[in-house]
Structure 1
């Protein structure tokens, strides 16, 4: 296997992660910050740039070292980094006690975790109100100004996954999923057999960008829809899968009420579907769904990175009116339509406007691969890069 953390360290030192500023700001306001995100996304590297007091709690010797040093550590003025904190549940009551003894002390603990709080009852039960959550995603387009967008779309944003060294893709992604199904998911409480999970992952790749139907997936796997939903819930909690919920508006139309399911990293998606190069990607019948998921992911990850995470939705009526992505951002409702074309048409905008009128959207954005942007007060037609720059540039 080629998963090598030392290379991630090298690449992340070269690439300044923009979310670092947000982490530092939160440490000035909270006793503890939890930096969460998928494995191998760069959490450890970022944390070690903030403190040398580091404990890897997946390792039993490190748990013992922390146990022995705990009385002196909680008195220190230095930031303590606790990596893979979910691996040692007894840590959380200790953290709660230490924080409650001196609630006014800020910036004491930086917790790193590869699962979301939805899978970490210890956090929700012990540290509610005592820490701030920050999500670190794989690399985004705004962090890679010298990398062609097509490379990021094809290989995904994991620092070790090929976007920086192309020879690693797609073997790195295959090894990554092997470790997830054989080691990580079982250790986090998912009892599924690795072979079943591998089949589920391939099926999820086949339905990327489609309406979620757990019963259909379950029939193919010989599982109940309850079991399938449980498995996918774990995949959401480990930042592999995103379910985009439908927008329920008070309109005189029959609305689609099932969520849509996306892989969060297109490199992993493409490796599951056997795509090795960009030319092959463009010739796939599902390339539009891949592009749509990539654009949605880049927008949401960039907003999260700037400290403006949003609740995303999509909108679709039974008679075909549709908006690929909606969210509220700075008191405005945004409606975004994604097209895989370099020459969007007036009909594309007409379709977006008809759907946007139904929900009362303040901003209507058509994202494509155009090189000729048009920016108005309400309507925008632009490339993905230009849209992301609108979100990250200072006002």
Structure 2
């Protein structure tokens, strides 16, 4: 079993808050992680799957059920199916606080962020902490004999995909995941979006991985309106399947682009949508550079401390930074992503670093050596930069 880096963070949060919510897409390992955490804290934790009719029936009178199991850690999975529970949880937590039970009461798992965050922040303000769980990242597999970085890039970070016995088996799992999400899961979130339309949009986003969003072009290709395109993308983002990266907007006296970039978050899903099922196919595919960029960016973001903000930077004159990270300790990272094992730095990157006054400047490439360029720019493997960022104190 590959240990998740967030396990210790979630355990720490449970020692500080009465409720902790783990957010992430379906099949990313939330339940496995929650049960592992619970097993280290208590012998009698209770797990309820709110997608199960039997477990829903147990909560026909939730206050009575929670009172019966007072003092136990209760795991509530798929809570977005029963948002009315949040109001109940507030009363239960407050009563327990008065009785002296202040922490480690509820571990809440959810697969859709927007509604869950809205409901929980309104009902449980000051009583709940949040932790997002994405697929396995490079640091998590570094000590594993079951996976390496290239297979993680090809297959993506979903546990069943990366741990499959073969590339073919992994590819089949991802294809089935996509179909299941579109036909079964999306409708459960109250969406009336036709599965075929969402599949076509998702595939188009894979073809344009990391490009600036052109809603007019997407709408024309799909035969839908611009507001509908935006609604589809917002849904995929809410389900943790795509990431919108916004342009840096500081005052640098330059004409900056204002259109965000969109990335499919899991590289394995990008490849499945494009029918790329082997490393050989990937390396010869036109999307290889954009896929690597998205993979690097998602891995970096997965290890950032709470409070970090991420952007990209681009001027109309061509100065560009793939990823800008701002930390509250005043550090500002400028990160360029290169697929070449002998990377070169463009003049535009140097200019952009000066524009934003970057304090740290890196080029991430697939090699193993760290070496300098001019003007304090350093070429580094992804693994090294992730280790540096994961050791930054919480900001």
In the superposition, the TM-score normalised over structure 2's length comes to 0.91
Question: What is the aligned partner in structure 2 of residue 3 from structure 1?
Answer: none
Deviation at 1:83, TM superposition (A): 0.4
Give the 4+ runs in structure 1 shifted more than 6 A: none
Cα shift readout 1:49-88 (whole Å, capped 9, x = no counterpart): 2333000001121011133564253462121100001111
Specify the SS of the correspondent of 2:107.
Answer: strand
Deviation at 1:21, TM superposition (A): 0.4
**Gap regions ≥5 residues in structure 2:** 39-44
Question: What is the aligned partner in structure 2 of residue 4 from structure 1?
Answer: none
Deviation at 1:180, TM superposition (A): 1.0
Specify the SS of the correspondent of 1:315.
Answer: strand
> Could you tell me how far apart the structure 2 residues matched to 1:128 and 1:191 are?
31
Q: Does 1:60 align with 2:59?
A: no
Specify the SS of the correspondent of 2:159.
Answer: coil
Deviation at 1:162, TM superposition (A): 3.5
Asked if structure 1 preserves the Cα contact closer than 8 Å seen for 2:62 and 2:88, the reply is: no
Q: Does 1:125 align with 2:118?
A: no
Asked if structure 2 preserves the Cα contact closer than 8 Å seen for 1:255 and 1:317, the reply is: yes
Specify the SS of the correspondent of 2:321.
Answer: strand
Deviation at 1:155, TM superposition (A): 0.6
Per mean C-alpha deviation after superposition, the further-off stretch among 125-134 and 96-105 is: 96-105
Specify the SS of the correspondent of 2:272.
Answer: helix
Question: What is the aligned partner in structure 2 of residue 299 from structure 1?
Answer: 300
Root-mean-square deviation over aligned CA pairs: 1.9
Asked if structure 2 preserves the Cα contact closer than 8 Å seen for 1:156 and 1:163, the reply is: no
Question: What is the aligned partner in structure 1 of residue 323 from structure 2?
Answer: 325
The correspondence of residues 179-190 of structure 1 with structure 2, limited to 5 A, is 179-190=180-191
Asked if structure 1 preserves the Cα contact closer than 8 Å seen for 2:318 and 2:348, the reply is: no
Q: Does 1:155 align with 2:155?
A: yes
Question: What is the aligned partner in structure 1 of residue 75 from structure 2?
Answer: 81
Asked if structure 1 preserves the Cα contact closer than 8 Å seen for 2:325 and 2:333, the reply is: yes
Question: What is the aligned partner in structure 2 of residue 260 from structure 1?
Answer: 261
Question: What is the aligned partner in structure 2 of residue 207 from structure 1?
Answer: 208
Specify the SS of the correspondent of 1:219.
Answer: helix
> Could you tell me how far apart the structure 2 residues matched to 1:35 and 1:195 are?
30
Asked if structure 1 preserves the Cα contact closer than 8 Å seen for 2:63 and 2:92, the reply is: no
Specify the SS of the correspondent of 2:161.
Answer: coil
Specify the SS of the correspondent of 1:112.
Answer: strand
Cα shift readout 1:84-109 (whole Å, capped 9, x = no counterpart): 01111221111011122234611110
Q: Does 1:50 align with 2:37?
A: yes
Q: Does 1:91 align with 2:85?
A: yes
Asked if structure 1 preserves the Cα contact closer than 8 Å seen for 2:337 and 2:364, the reply is: yes
Question: What is the aligned partner in structure 2 of residue 144 from structure 1?
Answer: 141
> Could you tell me how far apart the structure 2 residues matched to 1:323 and 1:315 are?
5
Asked if structure 1 preserves the Cα contact closer than 8 Å seen for 2:58 and 2:65, the reply is: no
Specify the SS of the correspondent of 1:133.
Answer: strand
Question: What is the aligned partner in structure 2 of residue 6 from structure 1?
Answer: none
> Could you tell me how far apart the structure 2 residues matched to 1:120 and 1:224 are?
28
Q: Does 1:368 align with 2:365?
A: yes
- Which one of the candidate residues 31, 38, 55 is aligned to 2:18? 31
